[in-house]
Chain A
Amino acid sequence: MTLFYALIALGSLALVFGLILGFAAIRFRVESNPIVDQIDTILPQTQCGQCGYPGCRPYAEAIANGDEINKCPPGGEATVKKLADLMGVEAKPLAGGEQADPIKTVAYIREDECIGCTKCIQACPVDAIVGATRQMHTVLIDECTGCDLCVEPCPVDCIDMLPIKETKQTWKWQLNAIPVTQVD
């Protein structure tokens, strides 16, 4: 008999609490930032396509659907870690190995050789190349993300990826790396 009473009591308690929880889940629902937007904020936006997707947003959507988080080389380890934190998955090392200290590069068109075919302009995902048909093409360094999608399409192979020059503002205080030589 007491068993019966105990069962009823616990059962009704469970029911009541379940109802309260369910109500709270609907009534006090918090609209959080869609996960895709959060992932997209973490990605570096170079739109290079090295992850296999045509841009950072599609990769963000793929991650939200369960894809691996270690496919972004420009983001590096830091991005993988942040994504691991966000998605609650294990932070794996970068697929394809990590570059030790990736130097930032931008594209440079050797203007003497440029034939004005606009193929690189069509390839650039952020429209960082200025030019028109049979007119000179040139790269806007400030907009270039270094994704090197333009190097392949160029038929005369006149695009180089050059490292960005270091300025006093970007110098990272590596005292051992100063290349000044004493003459006397």
Chain B
Amino acid sequence: MKLTMASSPHNHSHKSLSRLMITVIAACIPGLIAQVFFFGSAVLIQLVLALITVSACEAAVLLLRKRKVWPTLSDGSAWLTGVLLALSIPPLAPWWIIVIGCMFAIVIVKQLYGGLGFNLFNPAMAAYVLLLVSFPVQMTSWLPVSDLLASPISFSQQLSVIFNGFTSAGFSVDQLRVAIDGTTMATPLDTVKTDVAHHLTVAESMSKPLFNDWFGLGWGWVNLGFLIGGLYLLKAKIINWHIPVSFLGALTICSAIGYIASPGTEAGVVFHLFSGATMLGAFFIATDPVSASTTNKGRLIYGALIGLLVYLIRTFGGYPDAVAFSVLLLNMAVPLIDYYTQPRTYGHGVK
């Protein structure tokens, strides 16, 4: 009888990579539901497109690298990237936007750097920034909440807009964006920003039908959905609490200070926390393990700096939403943060 030799430990927790990734994707579902409910089902089309593109790109690159395709593909990291990107772009963006974005994310940001675990930047965010900078018009054509739409859009029409650029009836995206009151709608963040630039107070800006008492309609619910998903991830110990807490905490503090300093031009804490991609960023994007800091102390610093940058760029920068940029900037700083935040090993530093 030949005995097999193995290295200890012989026990394993069976926490596999694919299980991890699938769990994260599953945690996106509440936010996804909210998005579908409030903004139409176009996001599902984007989702499908994204998944197909990432799978195809990853398989192609693995074949080029002469690796086995399915074991690597099945760990779900590429799918997660696709899902996150699909959730980040305007639902009615043309199909080639998501395709270009996914290709860039997988091929260049992830595989070119060495594959899973070796990429320096968050692939989804890097792709988002590429799209935003290259195709600003398409990337800022957000639909208003379906309640506020001048005319509702059916699923088939959404499909045709995505693939053809026009609905079957011949309306363009811009025309579709016209709200009840005849103005093209922007995101709440964008609205507040432009209004303040036009010397309106925040309160006046927020009196628009786009907003309810606290935050932008629809957007707030989406953020809430992602918050629920994130809390679930925390409970399942998929992610550590350090990054979300520090990020949200920093953002809270900054916006609170800003609001206290000048309530007229600064939106409040709740507004910041529940608009844009705040919750998505806090729980799903900034916590991407590969590109985030690895030590707990480092994570706190990392999250806090992201929060600070998000507030600064939102308030003083040129773009309405800043999560992507902040995350990318902090990705660059991670090696330095890791080096200086090593934990104290047992027995060192004691007498």
Contact = CB atoms under 8 A, between A and B. Distances in A.
B5 A176 contact: yes
A36 B1 CA distance: 58
B7 A175 contact: yes
Contact of A182 (B3, B5, B7): B3
Main secondary structure on chain B at its contact with chain A? loop
Contacts of A173: 7
A178 interface: yes
A182 B6 contact: no
B6 A175 contact: yes
Interface in A157-179: 173, 175-176, 178
Contacts of A176: 5
A174 to B, nearest CB: 10
B12 interface: no
A176 B6 CA distance: 9
A181 to B, nearest CB: 9
B198 interface: no
Nearest to B1: A182
B65 interface: no
Interface string B1-41: 11101110000000000000000000000000000000000
A178 B5 contact: yes
Contacts of A182: 1-3
B9 to A, nearest CB: 14
A171 to B, nearest CB: 13
A176 B1 CA distance: 16
Nearest to A181: B2
Main secondary structure on chain A at its contact with chain B? loop
A175 to B, nearest CB: 4
Nearest to B4: A175
Contacts of B1: 182
Contacts of B2: 182
Contacts of B3: 182
A69 B203 CA distance: 73
Nearest to B6: A175
B44 to A, nearest CB: 50
Nearest to A178: B5
Nearest to A175: B5
B10 to A, nearest CB: 12
Nearest to B5: A175
Contacts of A175: 5-7
Contacts of A178: 5
Scoring A173, A175, A176, A178 by chain B CB atoms within 10 A of each residue's CB, the highest score goes to A175
A35 B34 CA distance: 69
A175 B7 CA distance: 8
A175 B5 CA distance: 6
Contacts of B7: 173, 175
A178 B2 CA distance: 12
Interface in A46-74: none
B1 to A, nearest CB: 6
Interface string B241-274: 0000000000000000000000000000000000
Scoring B3, B5, B6 by chain A CB atoms within 10 A of each residue's CB, the highest score goes to B5
Contacts of B5: 175-176, 178
A128 to B, nearest CB: 37
A180 to B, nearest CB: 9
Interface in B67-90: none
A178 B6 CA distance: 12
A176 B2 CA distance: 13
A176 B7 CA distance: 10
Contacts of B6: 175
A175 B3 CA distance: 12
A175 B1 CA distance: 18
A173 B5 CA distance: 11
B40 to A, nearest CB: 58
Nearest to A180: B3
A175 B10 CA distance: 14
Nearest to B3: A182
A170 B173 CA distance: 72
A168 B7 CA distance: 16
Task: Report the 5 A-B pairs with minimum CB-CB distance, sorted nearest first.
Answer: A175-B5, A175-B7, A182-B2, A182-B1, A178-B5
Interface of B: 1-3, 5-7
Given A175-B6, A182-B1, A182-B3, 5 more contacts: A173-B7, A175-B5, A176-B5, A178-B5, A182-B2
Interface of A: 173, 175-176, 178, 182
9 contacts: A173-B7, A175-B5, A175-B6, A175-B7, A176-B5, A178-B5, A182-B1, A182-B2, A182-B3
